[in-house]
Each structure stands twice: as structure tokens, then as C-alpha cells.
Structure 1
Amino acid sequence: MTERALVFTDEREVTVEETEATDPGANEVTVDAHLSAISSGTELLVYRGQAPSGIAADSSLETLNGDLSFPLQYGYALVGTVVDAGGNVDDAWVDREVIAFHPHQTRFTSTTDCLTPLPPDIERRAGALFPSAETATNFLLDGAPKLGERVVVFGAGVIGLCTIRLLAEFPLDSLVVVEPRASRRDLAREFGADEAVPPADVDALFESVGDGHADLVYELSGRPDTLNDAIDVVGYDGRIVVGSWYGSKRSDLQLGGSFHRDRVDLISSQVSTIDPSLRGRWSKDRRTDTALDALRTIDHEALITDVIPFERAGDAYERLDEAPDGTIQVLLSYD
């Protein structure tokens, strides 16, 4: 029996290829896919050939055990139903809807370590956004926003908007979003931002607020040059959480100004791991539960702009690549 899988074959080339379907091993289950979300950050870097080929796709996930050179399968936000289980797996997994950290594929086998049960009160379409909510949760753990702080978020894509929604729950002095696209600035305000401005207006805005500096900045734009803007905005002993992954794009950092004397902290944040200082109290299971609660507060339908049949996956990537102004979250449908 054969199934179909999405394969990145070259720069800006994706194909849907047949793959052999296998029965689950003793410690595995078989999952039938319903929906999967395309990451407009990491996956577009892969699609555009901007991901460094010499590093592992994600060593923390058994489903992404290769590197980022072509050809490869990639993806980590799929919702499906368990249809079969191996002899060592609890039968309670069968017929359960799950969130799978697995590349785009119609049917596949996996251990349950790569699956998160989809709570019955969360819709499938929302479930496909769980990895984004989990990433946003990790950003807040790393940035540790505090009472009365001035916070700035650069970038209002899916990850940025999820982060904004969670930050809006905090008793901050202000939450400002910097985003070039007007439609996304509007959505950022709906998600709880106090202000949403284009990049050209951010300096003028902060000159009129307090001492003119932010306490905490999130760089989520995916553009390396934005790091310099983040350094300009943050104040003495401020923190900058770098959530963007730039792939092979280089950052020309300008560190000769206020950065050195102001003791600015650049914090690398990535969802594969939890901050070492928190691991005594925070496990990945605890973070999963927290992220699921966060997902319940996020208006997923406001983020989903396109649902495209899996067989036309190439159209989905072209749309994200060539028409970003009208596109936020694209889903692939397998039904």
C-alpha cells in the first residue's frame, strides 16, 4: 500500500510523491492526516533554499532525523487520527485525534512520543496551530515579562501574533508591535497590542513614551537587519529575545553604539529546548499543557487565510512566497 508525502526537491520546488506505507511496529501507531500547517518561517527558508544544509533538521524530533539538504521532507504541525496501534501501545490511542510533529504526509507511523492528544474542546484547525502556540509559550518563558514593563514585538506573522496574544494577558505598561503590513498591524491590535506601527514610526513613538526605551523586545520578523532596530529600541539592561531563525541569511549587527555600554542581553530562544534555568520546574509536558491553554485563547480563524488541498501543495508555497501581504497561515487539507 502506498501513501503520499510532500518532498522539497530543490529551491522553490516541491512535489507530492508516493511512499510505501508500513504497518506500525510494536511501539508505534499509524496516523491518518486531516490537516497540516505550513510554517511561513522555517519552511519558507527550506523552500527558498535559504536553510543551511549542513545542520540537522531537528535533533529533538525523531520524525525530522535528517539534515536540511535537498531532497527532504519537512513539517511539524499536522492533525490526524490514530487508526492502528502496535502490540505494546495502549488501545486507548486508537481513534484518538492527535497533533503530530511530523512532515506533511497522508498516512504515517510514529511513536506516541511525537504525538499530543488533541483535547476534545479544541478544533482540528486550531490544533494545527499548536506548534505556534507552543513556540509563543517558550518565548514568554525565555523573556519573562514583568509587571509594568514596556514590551515591543517586531513581526506580526503567525508566531508574532500568537506571542502578542499571550503578552496581552500580562499587566504591562505597554505592548507595541512593529510590522510593515497594515493588515497585520490591524490584527495585532485585535490580539491585544496597545500600538501597532510600521518600522519607520517606531523611533518617534518611543521618544514620546517614558525614557524612550523598551524593557523587553521580541525579534520575530525573520529579517536579520531588524536586530539593529531591536537594539536601538531597548534600554539599559534590557532583554532582546531572538525568536527568528535566519537560516543562511547573515545579520550585519551594529554593536558599536549603545549595545555595549547598556549591557543589553541577546537571548536565543528555540522551542526544541527549555531554558536550562527552568528545567528543574518546567518539563516539556508542563509546557505542552500551558501551550494548549494558550491555544484556547488565540483566535485561530483570524490567522487562517488559506486552506489548500494537499495535492496542490506547490500552490500553497507559491502563495506564501509570492503573496505575503494577503496570506498569514496556510493549511493543507487531506480530506
Structure 2
Amino acid sequence: MDAVYLHGPGDLRIDDVEPRAVSAGTVAVDVEYTGICGTDLHEYEVGPVPIRAEGTDHSIPETEWDEYLPKPMGHEVAGTVSEVGNDVDDLQAGDRVTLNMVAACHDCRYCATGKYHLCERGDGGVVSSRGFADRIVVPSSMAVPVPDDVSLRHAALAEPLGVSLRGVRRAGVGPTDRVAVFGAGPIGLGVIAGAAAAGARAIYVSEPRAARREAATALGADVVLDPTDVDAVEYIQRETDRVEAAFECAGTATTLTDALRSTAYGETVVVLSVFEEEVPIHPNDIMQAERELVGSFGFQGGPLASQSEFTAALELIADERIDPEPMITETVPLDSVGSAFEELRDPSSEQIKVLVEP
């Protein structure tokens, strides 16, 4: 069958591969939709990216790429179960599912305390799932049933929405809070939708691209600013005397500093971006204001997957408290995946979330 593999920066190929067999504890899923993730784009630009690798400066040396390349691509998957392995009794052929790809070793210190999304199994590893393909085989624990009133098109966004909802949860956003979101790509838009669902009092957004500003408004933003025309920090400080929570969703030094300086003293800034390189910040923006700068990574999985932000995303879609449709700008066939990656990389593009339909 055809499947998309990364062979190096800018080198994305549709390879002819053998379908994987179903074994005990696994299921095969006929893929209906797979979203192109920001992490996919990041790897397309710079090569395989580790999930965590502090000892190697958050990168994989090119001399070690042979261990990871070529690597399968695509992990925002929704489809229909076509085959189940032995020992699988909670799923059957015909079930509609989306995939929570959090894998857990069950042995490390993080798994021992229920932090399965921080499992040490991911240290230095890469996301290697074959989602840009007709069919994918995964452990049955990763297949999450899709509610009857949620389309598979929208279920494919449970993964990025789960990431966003964890960020909102990390900030503890509630009805008395005003929030600022810097960057309205898929994760930032999910934060806007999640903050609105949490009852945030007001949501301010800074985003330079017009289509993303329009989507931000559709998903619940109260004020949307173009930072090329308006000083977002100055505006937010003037209108709110600083917000109670800010979210960095663009991955630049400017947006990180802007998020800090838009946040009230003693409040929280959440970083959800994957940064391509180190960026400078002034520690006094944290220390002298007693701000909390926290990271937010992925969403819960493993044995706690049913309690995760991923599952909550599906429920919020089913309850019509989140409508993912404004995030989806195009659906393309598998043979157009390369051109879709190139368009998403273009800083002038108005694309947001592109779904691949194998």
C-alpha cells in the first residue's frame, strides 16, 4: 500500500510498503482522515525531531538520522476499525475511532505516578506512526470510539484539540479570567475554543494572518489583533491592566516575551509551541512579577486515556461546545500531501488545518 515517509528535510515521499499484520492486542483502522500537524511540518523542515532530548539540546544530530529515517508520518488519525486481533474485546470491525497515540512503558517514574504522556519511553524518540496511509495498525488501547454525533472529519482534530485543552487546563482558566493567545494556528485556535468552553471572561488574540484571525473570531475570541498593525501588548495592557492567563502558540522569541508582558503579576503563561531554536527572554519578566511560566505537552494517555483532554475534546465536539470546522481549510488526497506541506510552510499562506484523505 502507499504510505508517506520522511526521508530528510524537504524530502517527503509516498512509498510502496507492506501492510502491517494485526496481532494480539492490536486493531487495524481504515483511515478516513489524517491531519497535517505542526510537528509534521517541523520535521519536514529540519529533519527528525525528538519528543524530549535535553541532553542533545532538543535535537537529533544529523549523524544519527539513519536510526530514524525514513520515518512514517501522520498521527492525527480518524477512521473505521477493519480488523481486530486476539484479546481485543472492546472493539469490533465497523467501529468508528480516532487515535490517542500516547504510548506508555509502565515502568518509568512518570508512568508510576500516572503521567503517561511524559513517559521516558519518549526521551530522544520521535513520533513514528503511519497515519498518511490507507490503513494503520495500532494497539487497541490507542483506538478511542467516536461519539455517534461526531463526524470522522471532526474527530481527526481530537488530537490537536486535546493538546490545546491541556494548555487551558494547565492555566486553570475559569469564568473570571481574561486570556491572551499569541498565535492562532491550529493549537492557538484550539486554546481559544477551549478557553471559551471553560467560560473565560474575555479572549484576546494576536495573529498576523487574516484567515486565522477570522477563524479565531468564529471560535470565540472577543478581540483579534493584527500585530503588524497594533502593538498587542500595549493594547492588552491598556484594556485589561494585563490578563490572568496567556498562551504562547507561535514559537518565537517575540511572542514568548509578549505573552509574559501581557500577563498580570502572579499569573500564568503557558508555552505550547515547539521552538526550532533557543530564544532569549528576560528572567526579570518572570522573577520580579512572580509570573509562572509553565510548559504544556500533549495530553494524557495510557491507562488514563478515558480521562484525558483528548477524550474531552470529542465530548466537547459532540456537545457542540466546540466546532472544529473553522479550523479546517482544505482536504486533499494522499498524492497531494507534498504540495499541502509546501503550502502550509509558506508564511503568506492562509491555510490552517489541512486534512489528508487517503
Matched with 2:315 is 293
Q: Which residue of the other structure, out of 152, 156, 159, is the alignment partner of 2:187?
A: 159
Aligned to 1:208: 238
Given that 1:54 and 1:68 are in contact with CA atoms closer than 8 Å, whether structure 2 keeps it comes out as no
Partner of 2:85: 86
Is contact 2:181-2:192 (8 Å) kept?
yes
Query: Counterparts of 1:319 and 1:262 in 2: how far apart (Å)?
Result: 40
Percent of paired sites with the same residue: 26
CA distance in 2, matches of 1:53, 1:141: 25
* Mapped contact 1:54–1:69 kept (Cα < 8 A): no
Structure 1 segments unaligned to the other structure (5+ residues): 57-65, 275-281
* Matched residues, number: 313
Which residue number corresponds to residue 63 of structure 1?
A: none
Q: Which amino acid aligns with 1:238?
A: E
Aligned partners of 2:245 and 2:20: how far apart in 1? 48
Cα distance in 2, alignment partners of residues 131 and 309 from structure 1:
20
Change (3 A) 1:81 1:167: same
Change (3 A) 1:169 1:26: closer
Superposed, which structure 2 residues align to 1:126-137 within 5 Å?
Answer: 126-137=154-165
What amino acid does structure 2 have at the position aligned with 1:22? R
| 1:153 counterpart letter in structure 2 | V
Provide the C-alpha distance between the structure 2 equivalents of 1:13 and 1:290, rounded to a whole number of angstroms: 36
Alpha-carbon shift at residue 123 of structure 1 (Å)? 0.6
Structure 1 counterpart of 2:342:
318
Q: Give the partner amino acid of 2:335.
A: E
User: Structure 1's 249 and 174: CA in aligned 2 closer, same or farther, altered over 3 A?
Assistant: same
Runs of 4+ residues deviating >6 angstroms? none
The question of whether the paired residues in 2 share the 8 Å contact of 1:53 and 1:67 is answered with: no
CA contact under 8 A between 1:136 and 1:159: conserved in structure 2? Answer: yes
Mapping for residues 175-324 of structure 1, pairs under 5 Å: 175-199=203-227, 200-210=230-240, 212-246=241-275, 248-256=276-284, 258-273=285-300, 283-287=304-308, 288-296=310-318, 297-322=321-346, 324=348
String of CA shifts for 1:275-324, please: whole Å, max 9, x gaps: xxxxxxx9331224322122333332222111111122111111111265
Verify the 8 A CA contact 2:185 2:352 in the aligned structure 1: yes
The 3 A distance-change label for structure 1 pair 322 and 125 is same
Residue number in structure 2 paired with 1:278: none
Question: For the residues of structure 2 that align with 1:331 and 1:168, how far apart are their CA atoms?
Answer: 24
The DSSP-based 3-state class of the residue aligned with 1:20 is coil
SS at match of 1:95: coil
Residue in structure 2 matched with residue 38 of structure 1 by the alignment: 36
Mean CA deviation greater in 123-132 or 170-179: 170-179
- Tell me, in whole angstroms, the C-alpha distance in 1 between the residues paired with 2:348 and 2:89: 43
Residues 102-181 of structure 1: matches in 2 within 5 Å? 102-103=129-130, 104-181=132-209
TM-score by length of 2: 0.80
Tell me if 1:328 matches 2:352.
yes
Counterpart CA distance in 2 for 1:156 and 1:320 is: 14
